[in-house]
Amino acid sequence: MHNRALDPRCSRRSPTSHHPPDATPSPVCAGSGPFVTQPHSLVLVSATTALLTDHYELTMLQAALARGTAGRRSVFEVFARRLPGGRRYGVVGGTGRLLDALEEFRFDDDALGFLERNAVVDAPTLEWLSTYRFTGDVWGYGEGEAYFPNSPLLIVESSFAEAVVLETLALSVLNFDSAVATAASRMTTAAGDRPCIEMGSRRTHERAAVAAARAAYIAGFTTTSNLEAGRTYGVPTTGTSAHSFTLLHDSERDAFTAQVDSLGKGTTLLVDTYDVEEAVRLGVEIAGPELGAVRLDSGDLLPQAKEVRALLDSLGARDTRIVVTSDLDEHAIAALAAAPVDAYGVGTQLVTGAGSPTAGMVYKLVARADDDGTMVSVEKKSAGKVSHGGRKYALRRRDARGVAEAEVIGVGREPVDDGDDRPLLIPLVRDGEIVGREPLAAARHRHERSRAELPPTALKLSRGEPAIPTRWEDRP
Amino acid sequence: MHNRALDPRCSRRSPTSHHPPDATPSPVCAGSGPFVTQPHSLVLVSATTALLTDHYELTMLQAALARGTAGRRSVFEVFARRLPGGRRYGVVGGTGRLLDALEEFRFDDDALGFLERNAVVDAPTLEWLSTYRFTGDVWGYGEGEAYFPNSPLLIVESSFAEAVVLETLALSVLNFDSAVATAASRMTTAAGDRPCIEMGSRRTHERAAVAAARAAYIAGFTTTSNLEAGRTYGVPTTGTSAHSFTLLHDSERDAFTAQVDSLGKGTTLLVDTYDVEEAVRLGVEIAGPELGAVRLDSGDLLPQAKEVRALLDSLGARDTRIVVTSDLDEHAIAALAAAPVDAYGVGTQLVTGAGSPTAGMVYKLVARADDDGTMVSVEKKSAGKVSHGGRKYALRRRDARGVAEAEVIGVGREPVDDGDDRPLLIPLVRDGEIVGREPLAAARHRHERSRAELPPTALKLSRGEPAIPTRWEDRP
């Protein structure tokens, strides 16, 4: 039961029952929880993203509206002061999700009612929010792009009022998805040509899991266990069985027979419920040499994989693959490079960013208009937190062979392309219209190319410095 | 743009336009993204939780249906093999959210269509899923309760088929929320009587942020910055201004004046944009001694807090509070115990579980029926991953003064209460009906009591062993 006492007005909407045809519209306030339950499992919930926002953004808005400064043209920038975990590069994730979320960023009556009842902001601010629609411009690094400390990852240009309220949403999406994409990229690097399977849904928030599957796919994972990521984003899904399936049956033989009969000989059998060797023999006995794969989920994977490979070969199952899935991270994957392993299933470490669960990006005002409309660079002077004021531009400097040499950031103007460089900021929103949508495959392809042009040192898994330096080209 | 190629059939629903009154229903397939955009920012999205599920759960279901074992009465159990990060106790979070999600766990036509088009499961399985509704029983530790290694945190009893598909959803919710609640509890312990403010939304997935605010509140945080947590769960929200507000204005004086004029003298001024001492003087000059608080977000907080306190006192602002908010975790909070600090704002470390971003819980089949209906305990024998078969019961053994001594787990029967003990499993779902809903305040109160009865060693922040041992009472 939610604390409805603080939210007594029910304004959830009920759906028109287009589907299924025999459902009838329910009354508006039918639900006792946050959802209106419909017959036939048709359930809808308000999807506005406008309250995925920190309280202070709206109080700042109120004060700026009252002061007459809310309309000042402003430039906000998303950047990371450092790469967490001694990473050599970061990977931008979440851009596509952010554009979707931006489109839904409207203050509907339910949201306005909440803000009013709880006196979050005053009446003029509520009035302003009621017609909110972002009408400005956004540029950003393409999704999947590698990034470095101080890379200007997102540039939001609009009135202060329109941009200030997007801080939390932009950071939440980019910080989580980029943390996962960055970890995933290191894992697919370590895996080389062997496929990586994302299977960490259970170790993170249920909706974060969907975003994690998407981010992993961008960074080179081939499939996910998460069905919602399949439905929402078209990420290929995969999976066969858990220990519970074996334990459900009277014997491992019964379980394997049931699985092979139903899912086919190409299925993956989980062989470590009891004794691995016996299970492998049993699997090949039941499925024959066409057995698709066996999965190892415990124990010392390196020697075990060798033993299982030898056993499979001795049984004639030379094409049966070996999938390993036990607490893997990029280091464990790398340590298995010499083992006869065919695929890696990665869970916890992927969705928790392999030790760096957030990318640590911030959203800072870097320029704003004066009363006469002149744009002024701004930056705070706090101890220990360096910011660089001014509208930024960026390109990746590359040598004649196309290898990245530096992240060049122009302040107030575009840096000069020396002939082999690549501009990094692409238009995402123009006059409020989303122009940067792209298929997920495009982000995946961008990542592949971006990583391929980094110097070899970028692919080291050890803690270290960013693979290329960040250079500033200030206004002359 | 999502990969619509894999999902060509549009079956999103559009809402009836109850509100606002002048909106008209839009055609069913109006949206190009995952949402149907409505006039006046009215947006709805399917909320079914059924695909927040790993692919293998449905393939196991298919094979078990075909084999005739899907209906076997089964007991699944959620537990954690260890407490991550050397914690002395864990805190159960997410129970209430899980019950909400369970209620929405139905395979609607859109979900079934996805499963069919992608050949995830066969026709008989789709048919079975189309009428899925959980009809079994669930018991669990109350939300907010302390837990220990092997505590049976959730017991799901139903057919194998009904329970196996809930694995991912249950674990996602409990693992994330419990990780945050556990970290939050250590922080509120370290803070003592001083309030803790949750402000980490920007450092985690946008929907995880809402759950994190809720979990933190259960574990003693007083407020959150997250507005959606206010709307959905009634968590009190708070916030005033960021550096961008100061930088928007021509001077700090302009900014502070604007803020105090609009938000009142009781507001919290952020005083570290330029020079802290000047800003504090300016704040008191503008707001007078009624200034609510000043916020420090950078620098060495311990000496700075002392200086600011002395300065505020010297200016007569003896009631003006000091809020600190820079990269705090439980250790930093503890280190400020002797500083004149009045409140802690905690962000990144809270939402990322202060080094342990997932609770590491697993969902295991521990008992199931034989063909003749006899329940059989089951457990796998994998190397290094110990499981304990059998239906569990649990109580917290307490001494005569009410101090917790041990977690006593009965296998197959309830442990014997020695007179001062407290049973830990409460009914959450009975015959498919949710019976365990409670106000969020009840979970918050439970946590307070549960933590208070732990031995003093539980509250140590250093890495160590669980505060009480887990003892097994097996069947005689």
Establish whether the linkage from the previous residue to B20 is cis, with ω within 30° of 0. yes
- Whether A386 has a pLDDT exceeding 70, the answer reads no
Q: Which helix (H) or strand (E) is B59 found in, with range?
A: helix B55-67
Residue A397 placed within a domain:
yes
Quote the pLDDT of residue A21. Answer: 31
| Residue of B262, B326, B377, B435 to mutate when probing chain A, most A C-beta within 10 A | B262
Residue A361 placed within a domain:
no
A282: containing domain: 181-355
Domain co-membership, B288 together with B374: no
Q: b or e along B193-208 (b: 16 or more beta carbons within 10 Å of the residue's beta carbon)?
A: ebbbbbbbbbbbbbbb
pLDDT band, very low/low/confident/very high, at A381 (cuts 50, 70, 90): confident
CB nearest B53 (choices: A14, A63, A227): A227
CB nearest A64 (choices: B169, B208, B258): B258
Taking a C-beta distance cutoff of 8 angstroms, is the pair A341, A364 a contact?
A: no
Domain co-membership, A233 together with A280: yes
Chain A closest-CA separation from residue B444 CA (Å): 12
| Residue of A72, A78, A247 to mutate when probing chain B, most B C-beta within 10 A | A247
Quote the pLDDT of residue B363. Answer: 98
| Residue of B205, B323, B368 to mutate when probing chain A, most A C-beta within 10 A | B205
Quote the pLDDT of residue A345. Answer: 98
CB contact under 8 A, B247 and A365: yes
Taking a C-beta distance cutoff of 8 angstroms, is the pair B174, B180 a contact?
A: no
For A244, nearest residue in chain B (alpha carbons): B365
d(CA B346, CA A176): 18
| Structure tokens that stand for B408 in this block | 């006593």
Residue B324 placed within a domain:
yes
- Whether B382 has a pLDDT exceeding 70, the answer reads no
Identify the domain boundary among B305, B333, B355.
B355
Quote the pLDDT of residue B326. Answer: 86
* Mean pLDDT in residue range A208-233: 98
What are the chain A neighbours of B364 within 8 Å (beta carbons)? Answer: 243-244
Domain co-membership, A35 together with A61: no
CB contact under 8 A, A60 and B164: no
Domain co-membership, B216 together with B154: no
Domain co-membership, B250 together with B336: yes
- Whether B13 has a pLDDT exceeding 60, the answer reads no
CB contact under 8 A, A383 and B298: yes
Letter for the amino acid at B241?
A: S
CB contact under 8 A, A44 and B13: yes
Taking a C-beta distance cutoff of 8 angstroms, is the pair A294, A323 a contact?
A: yes
What are the chain B neighbours of A348 within 8 Å (beta carbons)? Answer: 358, 360
For B199, nearest residue in chain A (alpha carbons): A54
- Whether A373 has a pLDDT exceeding 50, the answer reads yes
For B173, nearest residue in chain A (alpha carbons): A205
pLDDT band, very low/low/confident/very high, at A385 (cuts 50, 70, 90): low
What are the chain A neighbours of B55 within 8 Å (beta carbons)? Answer: 225-227, 230, 237-239
Question: Greater confidence, A23 or A90?
Answer: A90
Look at A444-453, B1-10, B373-382 and tell me which has the smallest mean pLDDT: B1-10
Quote the pLDDT of residue A103. Answer: 95
Domain co-membership, B258 together with B309: yes
- Whether A37 has a pLDDT exceeding 80, the answer reads no
CB contact under 8 A, B247 and A5: no
CATH number of the CATH domain containing B90: 3.20.140.10
CB contact under 8 A, A368 and B248: yes
What are the chain B neighbours of A125 within 8 Å (beta carbons)? Answer: none
Domain co-membership, A308 together with A238: yes
Domain count, chain A: 3
* Mean pLDDT in residue range A70-95: 97
Residue B50 placed within a domain:
no
Q: Chain-wide mean pLDDT for chain A? A: 90
CB contact under 8 A, A3 and B234: yes
Residue B467 placed within a domain:
yes
CB atoms under 10 Å from CB of A226, counted, come to: 34
Residue A190 placed within a domain:
yes
Domain co-membership, B383 together with B414: yes
pLDDT band, very low/low/confident/very high, at A29 (cuts 50, 70, 90): very low
* Mean pLDDT in residue range B266-280: 97
What are the chain B neighbours of A436 within 8 Å (beta carbons)? Answer: none
ipTM, interface predicted TM-score of the complex: 0.91
Q: Chain-wide mean pLDDT for chain B? A: 90
Q: What is the pLDDT of residues B99-109, one digit of tens each?
A: 999 999 999 99
Q: What percent of chain A has pLDDT over 70?
A: 88
Q: What percent of chain B has pLDDT over 70?
A: 88
Look at A63-67, B66-70, B379-383 and tell me which has the smallest mean pLDDT: B379-383
Considering just the CA atoms, what is the radius of gyration of chain A in Å? 26
What are the chain A neighbours of B225 within 8 Å (beta carbons)? Answer: 54-56, 168
Question: Greater confidence, B22 or A156?
Answer: A156
Identify the domain boundary among B286, B320, B355.
B355
For B133, nearest residue in chain A (alpha carbons): A41
CB contact under 8 A, A300 and B66: no
Quote the pLDDT of residue B388. Answer: 86
What are the chain A neighbours of B110 within 8 Å (beta carbons)? Answer: 231
Domain co-membership, B157 together with B200: no
Domain co-membership, B215 together with B325: yes
Quote the pLDDT of residue B474. Answer: 73
Taking a C-beta distance cutoff of 8 angstroms, is the pair A128, A61 a contact?
A: yes
Identify the domain boundary among B288, B321, B355.
B355
Q: Give pTM, 2 decimals.
A: 0.91
| Residue of A205, A253, A263, A307 to mutate when probing chain B, most B C-beta within 10 A | A205
Nearest residue to B142 (alpha-carbon basis) of B471, B436, B455, B448: B436
Q: What is the pLDDT of residues B80-128, one digit of tens each?
A: 999 999 999 999 999 999 999 999 999 999 999 999 999 999 999 999 9
- Whether B242 has a pLDDT exceeding 80, the answer reads yes
Quote the pLDDT of residue A444. Answer: 98
Q: What is the pLDDT of residues A234-272, one digit of tens each?
A: 999 999 999 999 999 999 999 999 999 999 999 999 999
- Whether A79 has a pLDDT exceeding 90, the answer reads yes
Quote the pLDDT of residue B476. Answer: 53
d(CA B6, CA A236): 9
- Whether A42 has a pLDDT exceeding 80, the answer reads no
Q: What is the pLDDT of residues A393-434, one digit of tens each?
A: 999 999 999 999 999 999 999 999 989 999 999 999 999 999
Domain co-membership, A277 together with A203: yes
Residue A176 placed within a domain:
no
CATH number of the CATH domain containing B252: 3.20.20.70
Residue B105 placed within a domain:
yes
CB nearest B237 (choices: A5, A40, A120): A120
Look at A117-126, A205-214, B410-419 and tell me which has the smallest mean pLDDT: B410-419
Q: What is the pLDDT of residues A50-70, one digit of tens each?
A: 999 999 999 999 999 999 999
What lies within 8 Å, CB to CB, of B474 at 6+ separation is: B390, B411, B412
Domain co-membership, A321 together with A410: no
Chain A closest-CA separation from residue B356 CA (Å): 9
What are the chain B neighbours of A116 within 8 Å (beta carbons)? Answer: none
Quote the pLDDT of residue A253. Answer: 98
- Whether B8 has a pLDDT exceeding 70, the answer reads no
Q: What is the pLDDT of residues B167-194, one digit of tens each?
A: 999 999 999 999 999 999 999 999 999 9
CB atoms under 10 Å from CB of A82, counted, come to: 13
